[in-house]
Amino acid sequence: MMHGPLLPKGTPPEEEPTEELEMLDKVEHPVDGSPSHQPATVTVANLFRHPDAHPVVLDLLLLKHYGPDWLVWEPETLELMLQSDFNNVSAVNLTKAQACKSLHLVDDFWRRWEVFNWITMGLNGVFPDAQILQVPTVAQVMIAVDAARQIRDDVQWSEEVRVFIESVHLHDGIVVAQPPLEFVRVPAEGYPVDADFIRRTWPDYILSNKTPSGGAVELEQLRRMKMAHQALEESRSFLRSQLPLVSHVPPR
């Protein structure tokens, strides 16, 4: 159930996407005929087709192999280059790469709620759709913000993006934001929940790695927060394990 508007007040509902974000929408489904059973381990050989490839690793490898030139290539050019140099590339990883490119080129991820949403989808391996409102989960927002911070940290968050992220929390029924979303404060007025108790006890659950049990509203909140936290930690684990692959790819 929606607890609040996903469109921040005063935001035009039908703004045109920026040119950079239109590039995200141009990625076709799927481009490679990858096997349905993917290998468990991400390697240099399968990085660009593996669904678990971390977007930051893709970005670092592209910058190392092609230099900044790849940031001005059309998606079709990037696809052809990757097919030539790495033999195979999946549509989902092209989408992740296009999301990273947009972070390099424009500030709209931090300033405009609809662009934030499209790039969030791309960083999570979901094909962005500019024609419908794709509602992200809190976990997806956490993963996207965490990845974006690895690429740039020089842009301040706009109020409209903060409000959008607050609305995502309310849509998921979570009233306390956790890092890396500490810059938002979810409006919990009118909810029968002790948000201060959740903030006080959350660090203990993270340190002890315990799953809260019980029927209290606050404990259900902690369980939902832990699920989002686990998704973020899985993403960070992919990043840590895949970073060494960058050193094995030479400049072109």
Asked whether the predicted pLDDT for residue 66 surpasses 70, the reply is yes
Q: Given pLDDT bands bounded at 50, 70 and 90, which one contains residue 72?
A: very high
Instruction: Look over the chain and give the mean of its residue pLDDT values, rounded to a whole number.
Output: 85
- The backbone region for 102, taken as left when phi is positive above 0, alpha when psi lies in -120 to 50, beta otherwise, is alpha
Q: Average pLDDT, stretch 72-82? A: 95
Contact present, 81 and 89 (Cβ < 8 Å): no
Our measurement of the distance from residue 97's CA atom to the centroid of its chain's CA atoms, rounded to an integer in Å, reads: 12
Asked whether the predicted pLDDT for residue 10 surpasses 80, the reply is no
Burial class (CB in 10 A: 0-12, 13-18, 19+), 88: middle
Burial class (CB in 10 A: 0-12, 13-18, 19+), 55: buried
Q: What is the pLDDT of residue 180?
A: 97
- Return phi, psi of residue 47, to 5°: -55, -45
Range of lowest pLDDT (12-21, 79-88, 133-142, 172-181): 12-21
Dump pLDDT digits (tens) for 185-211: 999 887 889 999 999 999 988 877 777
Q: Average pLDDT, stretch 70-80? A: 95
